[in-house]
Structure 1
Amino acid sequence: MIDGATDKSIGTYRLYATPSLFKKLLSILVSSALVFSVIQAYLKVNKVWKRRKIVEVANSISIVAAMLGFAVGLPFLLNNIFITNDYFSAGKVILGLTLAVVFTLIGIGAFVDANRGVGFFTLLGKALNLERKESGELLSDMLRPKGARKIIDILKKLAAIDDDIAQEEIDLINQFSEKWNIEIPELKPGKPEEVTNLVELKALVQSYLDEGPDTDVAEGLVDLINLMAEADDEVTEEEAMAVAEFTGMIGYYVSAEKGGEMEMWEVNIVPQGDDQISAVREILPELDVVEDRGGRVFKVGRYFSEDYAEAVCSKYISLGLYSNTTKLMVDFSKVS
């Protein structure tokens, strides 16, 4: 301080401010955050490190994402050290770079026993090639309809239902498998390698519907099934029966979602005496005999096409059991 009259210094003072409680607390939290970051990094690596020799684990790590960690981290590290002198932030960046190194090594399969002796750049090239092939998987899953894989399986089995796969049917299957990015074994025209029957195919369609696809997609499957049946310009009896039944199944699903009525056929076995009741209970133990129209019957099930119901009926008639079909209307506004 200077005296204005004499221009002489009369004292020296130092001005300073003591850190507030908030700043002290913030400083402690920043220091703690670095410790927590170390713990977090350890826990991340610990889960993977134990499984680092497993090929599937190595393949599950994105090499590109790990390497991008270097591209992002290095500029921040240099900035924190040489410009801002923020050593706490620099410590966090170093930690991130360390994680990037560890996950890169695990991701390229450096610890997998089968890769011993293989060079770093060779492993890196293989990992990048695999990632390139799989880079669109998430996007494809977002764009493809729900249950797309089962739709492809349905089309494959439908093509083989008449014990002959036409080239036109193969072309249609390949068209949709490529569109939805679904890999399938190579299909060849002619006799299929696996025998397909209506019961298995119906179970597959029901499994698809149980996944709860959008009604618009389900209705689109009806058109696709019809297109598949007509792809070779010849609709066999098996294909016609399958199309009718599956169209009904999908219609049932859509009606259940939207409400309304639907025509169905119920197959009943009408036993002629106690011996036939015992016979039915032996071949269909899950069914119970019920009183219907003044008589005892076994209700086998409800079906969506008359032809399919008649085919089921014929099966039991061939066993010497009297059976019939009954047409009924199902009101979905009354079905819970």
Structure 2
Amino acid sequence: MEVLILLVGWFAYASVFIGMIKSYLTVNKIWTRKHDRNVAESISVYAALLGLVSALPFFIKYLLIDQDYASALQTGIGLAVGTFFLLVGIGFWTKQKTANVTFWQRFIKAIKKENNEATDLIKALVKPKHAERISKIFTQLVLIDGRIDDKERELLNSFHKIWNLTIDFDELANSSKELSFIELRDSVADYVAYNPPYEQVSEVKGLLETIANIDNNVSDEESFILQEIYGIFDDYLNGDEELPRYEVLIAPQNTDQEDMLEHLLPTFTKVTDKGGVSYRIGEYYSLEFAQMMCKKYRSMNIFTAIEQA
């Protein structure tokens, strides 16, 4: 066993070495072109920032908590490469018309340009298959925080016009916030149930992020629901068995409650386990979303529990 652990350790460091070579080759390809404005504008600043933000906690965890130096080194290399692409994306090495342009000014300019290009990917889709379902998802996300600003309205109108679709904001705005969360999740689940192309699903996921950021303010409601529906997309795209899953079960405590649930939930799965009867409400990717579902049924004085699948 000690020999096996030693071998695995050596293989881990070998993987880090291979990762270093891969990162070098990637950076080397861009290095001589980093002054090119077209190259700079082809790199998403938002994507680079999100990559850095998501990797930094793991780097700290591996280095300071786990003391897993191989993983820390590999994550650190990723951070370094991500920083390089962020600098390229903001035009750090490109010539500016105005002399002495600061880092912050370059950053703001790159962000504004990327916001202006937010509809490019939408236009590239050109009335895709399942356009109506995609439209429903986008519209519900915009309305999830109970308000819509001019940038969001302009973005929605742009691709509805391109796809020759109509949109009724008033009808969707009548939904309560809690119901909107459930409806939006159901819309995403319905969309992937039709087996859309993987490339399209990946683009839709990216556009949801663009829509959430278009007003430069990701609301708590948007952050809450995106965590859940990103899990649906990731499961569809990668079939990742390591994704967290939280199963919500409700259990009637008397015959009156059981009769009520039989009436309210005729299509839900009835489970007999651990000496009792329960109903499987659903399986969710976000603990917070599962807790919201629990709260909904607990308000009816029904026993509800969450089990990690």
Q: TM-score, normalised by structure 1?
A: 0.47
1:238, 1:195 → 2: CA distance?
16
2:223 counterpart SS class: helix
Flag the 1:318–1:200 CA change in 2: closer, same or farther, 3 A. same
Higher relative contact order (CA 8 A, sep 6+): 2
State the Cα distance separating 1:290 from its structure 2 match: 2.0
1:264, 1:185 → 2: CA distance?
36
Partner in structure 1 of residue 184 of structure 2 = 201
* Root-mean-square deviation (Å): 3.0
Partner in structure 2 of residue 254 of structure 1 = 237
1:234 counterpart SS class: coil
1:303, 1:279 → 2: CA distance?
24
1:270, 1:193 → 2: CA distance?
32
For residues 166-187 of structure 1, the C-alpha deviation after alignment (integer angstroms, 9 at most, x for no partner) is 1121233244445xx2134478
* Structure 2 unpaired stretches of 5+: 1-122
- Out of 281, 289, 293, the position equivalent to 2:262 is 281
Partner in structure 2 of residue 307 of structure 1 = 288
Q: Which amino acid aligns with 1:145?
A: P
2:265, 2:168 → 1: CA distance?
37
State the Cα distance separating 1:157 from its structure 2 match: 1.9
- Out of 248, 251, 264, the position equivalent to 1:267 is 248
Flag the 1:320–1:160 CA change in 2: closer, same or farther, 3 A. same
Partner in structure 1 of residue 143 of structure 2 = 160
Structure number with larger C-alpha Rg: 1
Q: Which amino acid aligns with 1:240?
A: S
2:296, 2:286 → 1: CA distance?
16
For residues 87-133 of structure 1, the C-alpha deviation after alignment (integer angstroms, 9 at most, x for no partner) is xxxxxxxxxxxxxxxxxxxxxxxxxxxxxxxxxxxxxxxxxxxxxxx
State the Cα distance separating 1:323 from its structure 2 match: 0.3
Aligned residues: 183
Partner in structure 2 of residue 145 of structure 1 = 128
2:278, 2:168 → 1: CA distance?
45
1:268, 1:214 → 2: CA distance?
32
- Out of 146, 154, 171, the position equivalent to 1:171 is 154
Matched, 1:323 2:304: yes
Q: Which amino acid aligns with 1:268?
A: L
Q: TM-score, normalised by structure 2?
A: 0.51
Is 1:177–1:184's contact at 8 Å kept on the other side of the alignment?
yes
Flag the 1:202–1:192 CA change in 2: closer, same or farther, 3 A. same
Q: Which consecutive segments of 4 or more residues in structure 1 shift more than 6 A?
A: none
1:187, 1:226 → 2: CA distance?
22
